C-alpha cells in the first residue's frame, strides 16, 4: 500500500492467534508498529515472525478488555512506547456454540462483556488519544454474521453482543467524525483453529459442506481480514464511515 502505514501505530486486540494474528501481521508487513494484547502472555509476538525489523516494531502485553483500568494502562503504555496511536482494531472476542439454557448466566454476562462492552471501553480510551492528535485516527470493530437479522441459535448472547457492536459502530462514527472514523467488518467463515473446532467440529466433511454454501466456494484466511482492515484504515477508504462491511464471500 505504498508505505501508507509506515510510522503509524496500531493496536490489535486478541492478536495472539487466529484472525487477530493475521490482522496484526498485515499491518506490520505494511510498515506499521503494532501493539497487541490478550489475557495471556505471548513472547515474542507470533505475528512478527519472519518480518524484517518486526520484533522492534511489535509488542504483545497482557490486557483483559473487560477491565477498563487494564485498557487504560495498556493504551498509555503503547503511547509511551511508540509515541502515538493511529488505528485500533477491536478484534478480541468470540464464544463457543452452546445451548442457551444449559450454560450459566455468568457465561452470557462474560460473552457480552467480551464482545460488546470491552470493545466499547477500548474505543473510548483510543478516542482520548486520537482526538488529541492532529491526524485523528481510525477504528475497526470486528463483528460476525451471527449478528444478522435471522438470529443465531446456540450463539444467542454472542450474536446479540455483535449486533450491539454494529450499532455502536454507527453511533460512534456519527459522534466522532470527522476526526475519527469508525467502521465494522462482519465476518463469515474465516479459517482458524477455533473455527475448525467449534464451527466445523473438526470434521473435513463439514468443512466441504460449508464451503459449498459460499458463492466463492472457499473460506477466508485471517490475512484477508487484515487486508480489509488496511483498506478501511487507509486514505483509500477515507470516505467510509459508520459502515458494517459484510465479509462472507457472498454467503448472505
* DSSP code per residue over 146-166: GGSTT--TT-HHHHHHHHHHH
The pLDDT value recorded for residue 167 is: 98
The pLDDT value recorded for residue 1 is: 58
Give 215's pLDDT tier (boundaries 50, 70, 90).
Answer: very high
Q: Which of 32, 26, 132, 122 is nearest to 82 (CA)?
A: 32
- Report if residue 2 sits inside a domain: no
Question: Is residue 191 predicted with pLDDT exceeding 90?
Answer: no
The pLDDT value recorded for residue 46 is: 87
- Report if residue 1 sits inside a domain: no
* Choice among 47, 82, 158, 247 that is catalytic: 158
Q: What angle do CA 146, 72, 65 make, to 5 degrees?
A: 25
Least confident piece of the model among 42-51, 93-102, 166-175, 192-201: 192-201
- Report if residue 241 sits inside a domain: yes
- Report if residue 252 sits inside a domain: no
Counted domains in the chain: 1
pTM score > 0.85 for this model?
yes
Q: Which of 18, 56, 20 is nearest to 37 (CA)?
A: 20
Sheet with 244-247, edge to edge strand ranges = 58-62, 33-38, 9-13, 87-90, 137-144, 180-187, 244-247
Q: Check: CB of residue 245 under 8 Å from CB of residue 228.
A: yes
- Report if residue 3 sits inside a domain: no
The pLDDT value recorded for residue 199 is: 67
Q: How many helices (H) and strands (E) does the chain have?
A: 8, 7
Query: Residues for the chain: how many in total?
Result: 252
Give 212's pLDDT tier (boundaries 50, 70, 90).
Answer: very high
The pLDDT value recorded for residue 195 is: 67
Share of the chain above pLDDT 70, in %: 96
Higher pLDDT, 5 or 42: 5
C-beta atoms surrounding 39 within 10 Å: 15
Give me the chain's average pLDDT, please. Answer: 93
Give 119-177 pLDDT, tens digit per residue. Answer: 999 999 999 999 999 999 999 999 999 898 788 898 999 999 999 999 999 999 999 99
Q: Is 158 a catalytic residue?
A: yes
Q: Which residues contact 95 (CB under 8 A, 6 or more apart)?
A: 111, 114, 115, 155, 157, 158
What distances in angstroms separate CA 163 from CA 38, 157, 182, one per listed residue?
23, 10, 15
Average pLDDT over residues 64-89: 97
- Domain residues for the domain of 64 are 9-247
Strands 180-187 and 58-62 come out as: unpaired
* CATH number of the domain residue 57 falls in: 3.40.50.720
Average pLDDT over residues 5-34: 95
The pLDDT value recorded for residue 150 is: 83
Least confident piece of the model among 34-38, 62-66, 72-76, 209-213: 209-213
C-alpha cell at 136: 485523528
Average pLDDT over residues 103-109: 94
d(CA 24, CA 28): 6
- Report if residue 52 sits inside a domain: yes
Question: Is residue 47 predicted with pLDDT exceeding 80?
Answer: yes
Amino acid at each position: 500500500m505504498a508505505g501508507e502505514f509506515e510510522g503509524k501505530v496500531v493496536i490489535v486486540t486478541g492478536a495472539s492467534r487466529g484472525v487477530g494474528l493475521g490482522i496484526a501481521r498485515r499491518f506490520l508487513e505494511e510498515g506499521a508498529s503494532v501493539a497487541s494484547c490478550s489475557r495471556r502472555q505471548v513472547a515474542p509476538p507470533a505475528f512478527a515472525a519472519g518480518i524484517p525489523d518486526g520484533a522492534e516494531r511489535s509488542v504483545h502485553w497482557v490486557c483483559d478488555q473487560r477491565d477498563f483500568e487494564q485498557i487504560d494502562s495498556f493504551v498509555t503504555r503503547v503511547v509511551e512506547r511508540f509515541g502515538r496511536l493511529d488505528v485500533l482494531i477491536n478484534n478480541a472476542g468470540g464464544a463457543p456454540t452452546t445451548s442457551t439454557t444449559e450454560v450459566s448466566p455468568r457465561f452470557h454476562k462474560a460473552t457480552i462483556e467480551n464482545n460488546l462492552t470491552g470493545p466499547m471501553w477500548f474505543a473510548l480510551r483510543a478516542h482520548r488519544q486520537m482526538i488529541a492528535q492532529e491526524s485523528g485516527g481510525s477504528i475497526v470493530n470486528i463483528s460476525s454474521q451471527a449478528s444478522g437479522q435471522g438470529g443465531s441459535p446456540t450463539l444467542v448472547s454472542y450474536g446479540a453482543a455483535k449486533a450491539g457492536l454494529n450499532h455502536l459502530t454507527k453511533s460512534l462514527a456519527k459522534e466522532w467524525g470527522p476526526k475519527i472514523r469508525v467502521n465494522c467488518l462482519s465476518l463469515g467463515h474465516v479459517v482458524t483453529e477455533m473455527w475448525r473446532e467449534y464451527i466445523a467440529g473438526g470434521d473435513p466433511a463439514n468443512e466441504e459442506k460449508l464451503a459449498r454454501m459460499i458463492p466463492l466456494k472457499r473460506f477466508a484466511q485471517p490475512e484477508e481480514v487484515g487486508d480489509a482492515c488496511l483498506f478501511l484504515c487507509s486514505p483509500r477508504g477515507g470516505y467510509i464511515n459508520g459502515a458494517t462491511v459484510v465479509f462472507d464471500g457472498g454467503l448472505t
